[in-house]
Structure formats: structure tokens, C-alpha cells
Structure 1
């Protein structure tokens, strides 16, 4: 099976057997692939070439994968999928908190890897406007303005911030469904959410820190226990 256009994916994995498995799976589905054995080699390559997605092992010989992740997220915006043999939940949560989009635990099935890759890549596709919103490009809510095209968030007093892709997509979903309870699955575009997958909760937490005066007593993004989250604000579009 081939993808429509060639998509470059960087694989940072020091285990040659695992690297071959990942590379083979990606190539079978039409993805272009470049493999790096160390974090430093990968970071140097980014100076001249950026992929659409990086598959990153946390246990690298020269530096910790978390450090690589942190450096990437301070400079670049592309998909980041962790592949790790670490079973400690705190490692996966930390990876998501630092900006990873998803993770796969070793050992894994190639089909699961490809499904995760496709899911992350979809998040980085240009947003398609909702026909119901017509040509609306700016949302106004609770004293805030959000520009869909630039991901700029502007407060009532003119302070500006630019959201990362994951937070912007989360906010757009909420803005399109104000005053409705949205489950975690809905907020993750239908992806199954396991008991250990706290990625959506971490993204909500980051978004609250930007929007709420007191994130611990949120007024805009409310938790509905046992059901999900509710965006409690009127939204207007222009």
C-alpha cells in the first residue's frame, strides 16, 4: 500500500533489529525513512532537514530520549511518536508532557505502529474548515480571540501567545462544540483511550494554564467527572 505523496519519517533507534523492523514497516506503506543511531546525529540532521514525523526511542546511547524530545519541541513543530521499552507509566506521562504526540510500547506489532503513525500525521495536516462555519477564521470567547490560521491566542488586554499544534487542535474542537460534554475519545479524534493514556488530560491542563485565572477552579474548561470535558462559554465567529 502506498501513501499519496512521499512522507519523510526520521527514526531514532540504536537497536539495529528494532530499527530494521520500523524501517521495513514504514517502507511497505510508502513512507520515506531515515534512521539515526544516536540523538546527537538526529539533532544535527534537523539543521538541514525536517521530517513530517519522528519515531524516537527513549533509551539512546549518547543522551536520554527525553532530552532529545525537549530540544526538538523548543525549536520544531512536527509529529513525535515515542517507541520505548520502559514500562514505568511516569516515563510515558513525562514524554507526553514534554510534547510527544503518542507512544508505542515495545514489543509492538508493525500494524499498530503504522496506525499510530497515521494518527499522528493526521493531526499535522492543514485544518479543514467546518462548512457550517463558512469562512470564519477567528473565534471570540470569554474575552479571548483565537486565530485558526496562525494559532494565535489573544487576551482581552492584547497579550498574545501562539499555541502548539496539539493544544490548538484541542481548542478548535472545543470551540466547535461549546457547552457540550466531549469525551476523551472525541477530543482525541476517536482514538481509544486506555486507563494509562493521560495525553488528553495533560493537553487540557496546558490549555487551562493559558486560559484560566485559576486553573484549579476552571471556569471555561470544566471537568465533567466520568464523562469528559465541557467548554463553558459562548463562541462567536468572524
Structure 2
């Protein structure tokens, strides 16, 4: 049975943007579904499981940022924001809420195709190393985006947080530099990426009940990067 191409959903209220993105992605071999309003998009999610969601922040019927947050936590799809908001704080906020990448309008459609491919490549590589990791009394289930402690209590994490966690779990006791994080996770390097990584790591530490002043698992090596100190096994 032939596997269907990855599905990319497009949420943007501008018809020209929807058409341009659909044409570029279809030509690149992806399936697409495009929506003008958040309500239509959310209704489709009940029966559709996209691989990547392209989301504009300026929607006529919904705040795009809150939608990004929900997608990151509930859908398990990669989320790429496409927005005319170019301020650093807007980019940081979007990435903090769980988006995997942020593209500023106007853009080259070829850039969007490349970013979509990068997200899917990361997901494909990740799936090859297993979906469940065990470390220091914790179980991380990447198919359901949950952390489970020794007592069975579950804590959800977003797709973006999961990418950072997996990066650590696949390279325990090795220095991971900011440059390596940017290369492995994709996205544009710069202040917004660095701050988003800081927030994701802080949230992971909170979910792992780390002491922020003396974390035991995710250690910061100032000026160099991070090291994950746990013992990890995969299943």
C-alpha cells in the first residue's frame, strides 16, 4: 500500500497567500488543505491529522497565538507561524507558546517548503530512535507527548518541548551547544531562537521537578551549552 504524502494545513485569511502556499507545497509533493478562518480549521482537525500546520497570527475570528498553543499541546503536529508581525517579542512569544518555527511575511514560497521539509525530517529521524524513553524514574512517551513519574502521574509537553527533550535524551552526558540546537531543531538563529530555547528548557525543568537553581538532569554549562546527566534507555 502506497503511503500518502505528508499533509500540510494552511490557515491564513488572505486568499493569495493560501493559493501561493498551496501551489508551492503541492508542486513539492505535499498534500494541502487551506482554511480562511480558525473555526473551519478547528472543525477539520476533528477528522484530519496534519503533519505540519502553517498558521497566521492575524485571524478574523480567533487569536492566532492561543490557537498555536492549543495545537502544540493537543495535536502533536509541527506548527510553523507565518506572520507579518516582525517584532522580536512576537517571534519569541510564538515560539514560547509551542511553535516550532516562525516565518515573517513577505516570504519566498521556496523558503516555506524548505522549512516544512526540515520539520518533517526532524520528525522522521526522531521516530527511528523509538517513541518511549526511560530515565531517572521518568518515562517520556513521544507518541502521546506525556511525561510519567514513578507514581504514574502524567504531565503533557508540547511538540516543541518534545523536540528539545528528545535532543537531550538521544545525547546523554554530551555537551549540546546552542549552535547544535539551532542546526538540529531548525529555525532562524538569533535572539528569538535563543530566548525560545531558554523558555522550553525552563519548562522542561519545571515538568521534571528540577530545582531551577541547582538542576540535576539538565545542566547549563555557561558559555558553552547544556548537558543532560540522566541514564537513558529507549523502547
Could you say whether these structures have the same fold, taking a TM-score greater than 0.5 normalized by the shorter chain as the test? yes
Deviations 1:118-167 (A, max 9, x none): 1222333361128xxxxx964333x4344566655333444333444333
2:203 is the counterpart of 1:199: no
2:210 is the counterpart of 1:226: no
Task: Quote the residue 1:76 is aligned against.
Answer: 75
Considering only aligned residues, what root-mean-square deviation do their CA atoms show, in Å?
Answer: 2.7
> Quick check: which has more Rg, 1 or 2?
1
- Residue pair 2:169, 2:228 contacting (<8 A) in 1 also: yes
Tell me the secondary structure at the aligned position of residue 49 of structure 1.
coil
Note the residue ranges of structure 1 that are not aligned, 5 or more in a row. Answer: 131-135
Where relative contact order (Cα < 8 A, 6+ residues apart) is larger, the structure is 2
- Residue pair 1:123, 1:166 contacting (<8 A) in 2 also: no
1:139 to 125, 134, 148: 134
Task: Quote the residue 2:153 is aligned against.
Answer: 159
| Distance in structure 2 (CA, Å) of the matches to 1:156 and 1:195 | 37
| Distance in structure 1 (CA, Å) of the matches to 2:233 and 2:22 | 46
Task: Quote the residue 1:123 is aligned against.
Answer: 122
User: Measured at CA, do residues 216 and 24 of structure 1 come closer, stay the same or move farther in structure 2, by a change above 3 Å?
Assistant: farther
Q: Between Structure 1 and Structure 2, how many residues are aligned?
A: 229
| Distance in structure 2 (CA, Å) of the matches to 1:23 and 1:161 | 36
Deviates more, 1:178-187 or 1:222-231: 178-187
- Residue pair 1:153, 1:160 contacting (<8 A) in 2 also: yes
1:186 to 180, 185, 209: 180
Which aligned runs of 4 or more in structure 1 are off by greater than 6 angstroms? none
- Residue pair 1:73, 1:99 contacting (<8 A) in 2 also: yes
| Distance in structure 1 (CA, Å) of the matches to 2:110 and 2:169 | 33
TM-score by length of 2: 0.83
- Residue pair 2:68, 2:97 contacting (<8 A) in 1 also: yes
Note the residue ranges of structure 2 that are not aligned, 5 or more in a row. Answer: none
User: Measured at CA, do residues 146 and 20 of structure 1 come closer, stay the same or move farther in structure 2, by a change above 3 Å?
Assistant: closer
